[in-house]
Amino acid sequence: MHTIPMISHSIVISKFSHPFSSSSSLPLSLRFTINGGGGGGPFLSYPSQKLPPFPISAPKIQSFKVLAAASVPEAKSDEPIKPAGLIQTLQLGAMFGTWYLLNIYFNIYNKQVLKVYPFPATVTAFQFGFASLMINLIWSLNLHPRPNITRSQLVAILPLVVAHTMGNLLTNISLGKVAVSFTHTIKAMEPFFTVVLSSLFLGETPTFAVVSSLVPIVGGVALASMTEVSFNWIGFATAMASNLTNQSRNVLSKKLMVNEEETLDNINLYSLITIISFILLVPFTIFLEGVKFTPSYLQSAACQGLNVRELCVRSVLAAFCFHAYQQVSYGILQMVSPVSHSVGNCVKRVVVIASSVIFFQIPLSPLNTLGTGVALVGVFLYSRVKQIKPKPQTKAA
């Protein structure tokens, strides 16, 4: 089976013919990509093609496999599929701008809410719940067909649901404890966890170039951590744990497989994971924090600077941006190559860090700025060297 590696988890669908299939493997395979939450890359995506940014249901298939790629895509070709024509070029530029803007507003609104309402599990459950309402509204209005989930499909995606839930929860805990810029600097360590876990569990040996690209990432994050004004051990540990959770999901889900007569299309797979995440998180939230979504607890936010109305509005806006930016992200990946999307994701992290520093007026020392910059450069280098194919070793005569 020929597949195009994508970002994070992927679902490879085989033995069918689909207009979204790529190049030489047109009748053979299609990959859906799943990303961990918290502000990173796309949650789900079709392969790189000149396609509209709207997901379309896939036909019946004979099998599908839940896989995971590295957090940075490993494309078979570095050549992006460029939009043909000025209109499509402008559309792609607008989608990148929307992706960045939604990420900026999500991080700002989310931080404002968590600052005065320190219940990250409740906030995360609300975001999943709001997205679930949007999804059910789409299904009810027949804007997208409602899927018929089977037990074997549920078993296949359940590990992804658990990892997605924990990844977003841990990220929100970190955002509530430290500055937005610091959380995103720590999350630049994702490639490091990808390489380590792939080596331990999959026996993959990283190349010298890959290992070299990890040096500035680790060094930059260490330097930024030592000079971070808002440093907090809980915020630091949960951001690191979200990296470990997301990349463990990528590595451990590679061998999961289930045979089914029907598949889940892109939007329905994302929708089901979101809804199940909400169902799983609600009882855990009640056990961990209790019932905090009450008028008395909401009113306590007024003492911190936000009244109940402002808190509710910002919570809804954060939940909307959280759901929308992932949709836009995989829409972009339909139009460009994984390499181009990876570069765009690096730029997005820079934009989010810079905007949060400006908006929240976070004091940065020269060493802190240097550490953050070095880590981001390392992420960019990692995304590039992962595209280099190792030369086949020739046996000596």
Task: Give the residue-averaged pLDDT of 381-386.
Answer: 82
Domain ranges across the chain: 97-386
Based on C-alpha coordinates, what's the Rg of the chain?
A: 21
Average pLDDT over every residue of 18-47: 42
pLDDT tops 50 at residue 44: no
Arithmetic mean of pLDDT over the chain: 75
Query: Torsions phi, psi of 14, nearest 5?
Result: -125, 165
What would the two tokens of residue 211 be?
Answer: 């290992």
pLDDT band per the 50, 70, 90 thresholds, residue 72: very low
pLDDT level of residue 1 (50, 70, 90 thresholds): very low
pLDDT at 381: 87
Rounded to an integer, the average pLDDT of 54-78 is 42
User: What is the spatial distance between Cα 353 and Cα 347, in angstroms, rounded to a whole number?
Assistant: 10
Q: Cα dist. 223→69, 220, 348, 387 in Å? A: 29, 5, 21, 28
pLDDT digits (tens, 9 = 90+) for 240-284: 999 888 777 666 555 444 444 455 666 777 788 889 999 999 999
The pLDDT of residue 113 is above 90: yes
Tell me: pLDDT of 83 over 50: no
Arithmetic mean of pLDDT, 212-240: 88
